[in-house]
Chain A
Amino acid sequence: SQTIHQWPATLVQPVGSPLSLECTVEGTSNPNLYWYRQAAGRGLQLLFYSVGIGQISSEVPQNLSASRPQDRQFILSSKKLLLSDSGFYLCAWSGTRRGELFFGEGSRLTVL
C-alpha cells in the first residue's frame, strides 16, 4: 500500500533562517506531488506541484522553493524565512481516482 511521510513534524525557526521540509512517498511510482500551506484559521493554499523529477509548478509567488530530486521525494525550502511563512505545511500525492489527494501528517512551522 502507498504511504506518505513528511518531516520534521514541528519546528521553530528564527526569521532569516533557512528551511527544509522533506516528503517521501512509498508504494507508487511517478506520483504527482504537492505542497500546501495552511495558515491559522484559513483554508489550504496550494504552493507547488510536480508531475515528475525536476518538474515544478509554482502557484503563488513567495520566498519558498520546491525541488524534486527523486521520483518519490519532494522538498520545500527557503533561504530566509519570514514571519508570514509560519503555518501548517502539508505534502500530498494524487492517486489513481480522479481528484483524490493523499496527505502527509503535516509540518507545523513557527517563525519567530
Chain B
Amino acid sequence: DAKTTQPTSMDCAEGRAANLPCNHSTISGNEYVYWYRQIHSQGPQYIIHGLKNNETNEMASLIITEDRKSSTLILPHATLRDTAVYYCIVNTGTASKLTFGTGTRLQVTL
C-alpha cells in the first residue's frame, strides 16, 4: 500500500473549517483514500473515503487532487468534539490491509 504523509498536529478554532492535508504521491490507480479519526481512549471511527471524485457525507468532505497525489479532509464547522487524531490511509479496499500511522492530532479550541 502507498504511504501517506500528514502533519503531526494542527489547531483549529471552534466553528471554523478544519482542513487536514495528506500527501500520497505514490498512490496506485486502484487505491482509495480513507480517513478515520480516533478520539482519545476510543477506537478509530471511519469518516469517509474516495477514489477520484470529491466526496461529502454528514461528517466531512474529502477533496482529492486531480493527480490523486494529495487530498484534504474538511470538517466544515469544527467543534470541540472533533478534537482527535485523524488518519489518512490509502488502500485497495482490503480492510485487513489498512495501515494506521501516527496521523494528525487536531486540537479544536474555543
Interface positions of A (Cβ within 8 A of B): 32, 34, 36, 42-44, 46, 49, 57, 88, 90, 92, 94, 97-106, 108
Contact = CB atoms under 8 A, between A and B. Distances in A.
Given A43-B102, A99-B34, A105 B43 contact: yes
Nearest to B91: A99
Contacts of A105: 42-43
Interface stretch (B15-23, B69-77, B93-101): B93-101
Interface of B: 32, 34, 36, 41-46, 49, 87, 89, 91, 93-96, 98-103
Given A44-B100, A46-B96, A98 B32 contact: yes
Contact of B43 (A43, A97, A103): A103
B98 A43 contact: no
